[in-house]
Amino acid sequence: MKNPFVMDCGEFHVNYKQDMRIWKIARVRWRVFLLIAVFALLPLISSDYLIGLATLCGIAAIGAIGLNILTGFTGQISIGVGAFLGVGGYTSAILTAKLGLSFWLAMPMAGIITAIVGGLFGLPSLRLKGLYLAIATLAAQVIILFIISRWDAVTGGTAGLVLSRPEIGNFAFYSERSYYYLMFTILVLTTIFTLNLFRSRVGRAFIAVRDRDIAAEVMGIDLFKYKVLAFVVSSFFIGIAGALLGHYTMIVSPEMYSITVSIEYLAIILVGGLGSVFGSIYGAVFITLLPVVLRAGVELLSGVFPELSAVLIGLKEVAFGLVIILFLIYEPQGLAKIWKNIKDYFKLWPFSY
Amino acid sequence: MGILEVKNLTLRFGGVVALDDVSYEVKEGEIFSLIGPNGAGKTSMLNCISGLYRPNEGSIQFKDSPITNLKPYKRASLGIARAFQNIELFPHLSVLDNLMLGRHVRMKTGVLAGGVFFGKAQREEIEHREKVEQVIDFLEIEHIRNTPVGTLSYGLQKRVEVGRALSLEPDLLLLDEPMAGMNTEEKEDMARYIIDIHEEMQTTIVLIEHDMGVVMDLSDHIAVLDFGKLIGYGTPNEIQNNQKVIEAYLGEENTV
């Protein structure tokens, strides 16, 4: 029998199918299955508060994967994520609350509508690159938010709309736990879809456009089509995240989709790792939990130094900015790279000369 | 019959005339070299053929249909591939993915099939992977198959660049100084690969190269550019004895 403590040396694939796997080594595959199982079973033993936090992390992760497809993989900065989340949330809200459609139809529709809107705002991307494109997407943010807050008849104006939780037959996803499972399923599907996308033709074309657009075009990639396509695919997932978030908070209102949200999502993919699917998830967890942890820290300290708490609460924003700056300086490739470094270190441990 | 016909091509950048009324044809299955002193317009010529520049006047025909106003990506799907002078590989993709990207126009998978992967996309990936592996085998880059291109040495990157163009299974292969910056041994290897590509795949090759030894040995026909003008066309033998060409390279005798 094989010694379970000894690692295999080398990968021996005998056909292309094996070589194309996302996780090429059986041991790693089992680790992934185990991790999915752990996250699937976790809500059974944790409190509603923790499950709620996890749900928010997961929804942010779905949106972040969407943004990473556009910014990390295709190299097009977008500051319009907040508004695109809004399009998803409002579409689902209008379809379910006003038109009486079921959530299961409204959520994919929210994705599709957001994809169309995203594609429209992606049209300038052929002519604009880098900062210029960022400003163009900022226009998307402002225009969409303006429409949402002024078109009272449809969107309810600044008061927003009230949503209900989704239902299957008689079962409604009212408990934290059930909504977690809904989010978890969609997150797993999103992750698998994106990982697959980037090991096939379209994903490669996205990366090629990011790395060298001129060479990509000479090799037969229609730049315009793929740049807009990146906006479409990315916005689809952001729209889905928006719908999920809307049905989770059960209300959508303009201030939920401000530019701060856009910046937060950019921070997620920066901290997590540009061009990394798992990085998006790490980043989403990190940025979502950071304020929570900071608040807990402040509360803890204010017990000891009551007069300091007022100052410390103000420092929360500072700490948030500081984290992003530190990541940009010390590990621009984010948490995904840090995790890889740790794994690489232990590959040769304890003889890592 | 010419696979590529260039007629009266003129390209201007403001007042600068980069190409001036250039006409020639490349015959099917030959190695055709473009030579000339620095700044003669050789790379501009290739940019016109691959579509990065639009000529002000004149026309380009590929396989008897005009391509003068086609977008670069459409020309790729017609079977024109190119290796750049300054390496233009995708540095974060592995060698394998760079070559697979070369097959982009030969593949069909869209977003949905790609995201689902199993089934259509996987079948297509495997089918085209076999073609790419033949190119890898051909250029002897098996050992770096999974290495990100950005980390490779210059010589290897040049070879991968040729490989990427070759993966497209082009009818016309444009090579812009594939041997620039190489030592003698690497040059010999590259020359051997070019001959092999020509003989085994019957690919028509347009080559820009400064090493006259290589050009004279490999080419079937040579065109010489100087200040955007075509000053000579013919077999290597004819070019070597062409008075105008000698003047362009060495300067006129009476000025020395």
- The residue ranges of every structural domain in chain B are 1-79+171-256, 90-169
pLDDT in tens, A324-337: 888 888 888 889 99
Q: Which residues of A325-350 are buried (b: 16+ CB within 10 A; e: fewer)?
A: eebeeeeebbbbbbeeeeeeeeeeee
In single-letter form, the type of residue at position B156 comes to: L
The mean predicted confidence, pLDDT, of chain A is 89
Q: Which residue has the tokens 């809500």?
A: A43
- In 3D space, the residue among B231, B249, B233, B227 whose CA is nearest the CA of residue B19 turns out to be B227
- Contact (Cβ atoms closer than 8 angstroms) between residue A235 and residue A114: yes
DSSP secondary structure, chain B, as one string:
-EEEEEEEEEEEETTEEEEEEEEEEEETT-EEEEE-STTSSHHHHHHHHHTSS--SEEEEEETTEE-TT--HHHHHHHTEEEE-SS----TTSBHHHHHHHHTGGG----HHHHHH-TTHHHHHHHHHHHHHHHHHHHHT-GGGTTSBGGGS-HHHHHHHHHHHHHHT--SEEEEE-TTTT--HHHHHHHHHHHHHHHHHH--EEEEE-S-HHHHHHH-SEEEEEETTEEEEEE-HHHHHT-HHHHHHHH--GGG-
Residues from A contacting B (CB-CB < 8 Å) are: 16-17, 20, 193-194, 196-197, 199-205, 207-208, 211-212, 214-223, 229, 233, 275
A141 pLDDT band, cuts 50/70/90, is: very high
Model pLDDT, residue A5 = 62
The answer to whether B119 faces chain A, any CB pair under 8 Å, is: no
Are the beta carbons of A201 and B126 separated by less than 8 Å?
no
Burial class (CB in 10 A: 0-12, 13-18, 19+), A245: buried
B134 interaction partners in chain A (CB closer than 8 Å): none
Model pLDDT, residue A49 = 92
Model pLDDT, residue B103 = 93
Model pLDDT, residue A306 = 73
Burial class (CB in 10 A: 0-12, 13-18, 19+), B100: buried
Model pLDDT, residue A7 = 60
Residue range B185-211: mean pLDDT, rounded: 92
B76 interaction partners in chain A (CB closer than 8 Å): 218-220
Are the beta carbons of B76 and A220 separated by less than 8 Å?
yes
Residue range B137-150: mean pLDDT, rounded: 92
B51 interaction partners in chain A (CB closer than 8 Å): 218
Model pLDDT, residue B102 = 92
Nearest residue in A to B126, CA atom: A16
A115 pLDDT band, cuts 50/70/90, is: very high
- Measured CA to CA, the distance from residue A63 to residue A284 in angstroms comes to 9
Q: Which residues of B225-240 are buried (b: 16+ CB within 10 A; e: fewer)?
A: bbebbbbbbeebeebe
Residue B240's Cα: distance from chain center in Å?
24
Percentage with pLDDT > 90 across chain A: 58
Residue range A80-92: mean pLDDT, rounded: 94
Q: Which residue has the tokens 């998307």?
A: A140
User: Given A20, A212, A218, which is nearest B125 (Cβ)?
Assistant: A20
Model pLDDT, residue A328 = 84
Distance from CA of B105 to the nearest CA of A (A): 6
ipTM above 0.85, yes or no: yes
Model pLDDT, residue B252 = 63
- In 3D space, the residue among A245, A274, A277, A248 whose CA is nearest the CA of residue A261 turns out to be A245
Residue range B210-215: mean pLDDT, rounded: 89
Model pLDDT, residue A4 = 61
The domain defined by B1-79+171-256 folds into Rossmann fold (3.40.50)
Model pLDDT, residue A2 = 60
In single-letter form, the type of residue at position A353 comes to: Y
Model pLDDT, residue A3 = 63
Residue range A72-78: mean pLDDT, rounded: 92
Q: Which helix (H) or strand (E) segment is A212 a member of?
A: none
More confident residue, B256 or A146: A146
- Contact (Cβ atoms closer than 8 angstroms) between residue A208 and residue A90: no
Are the beta carbons of B89 and A212 separated by less than 8 Å?
yes
Distance from CA of A249 to the nearest CA of B (A): 29
Residue A153 has pLDDT above 90, yes or no: no
Q: Which residue has the tokens 């955007």?
A: B228
Are the beta carbons of B72 and A217 separated by less than 8 Å?
yes
Residue A1 has pLDDT above 60, yes or no: no
Percentage with pLDDT > 70 across chain B: 97
Residue A315 has pLDDT above 90, yes or no: no
Domains of chain A with bracketed CATH: 47-348 (1.10.3470)
Are the beta carbons of A201 and B52 separated by less than 8 Å?
no
Tokens matching residue A72: 């990390």
Distance from CA of A126 to the nearest CA of B (A): 14
- In 3D space, the residue among B121, B119, B101, B102 whose CA is nearest the CA of residue B111 turns out to be B121
B119 interaction partners in chain A (CB closer than 8 Å): none
A223 interaction partners in chain B (CB closer than 8 Å): 73
Model pLDDT, residue B253 = 60
Cα dihedral B12, B14, B16, B22, rounded to 10, equals 10
Angle at B181 between CA B175 and CA B184, to 5 degrees: 95
pLDDT in tens, A173-225: 888 899 999 999 999 999 999 999 999 999 999 999 999 999 999 999 999 99
DSSP-derived secondary structure letter, A8? P
Reported in sequence order, the residue ranges of chain A that DSSP labels E, i.e. its strands, are: 161-162, 167-168, 171-172, 251-252
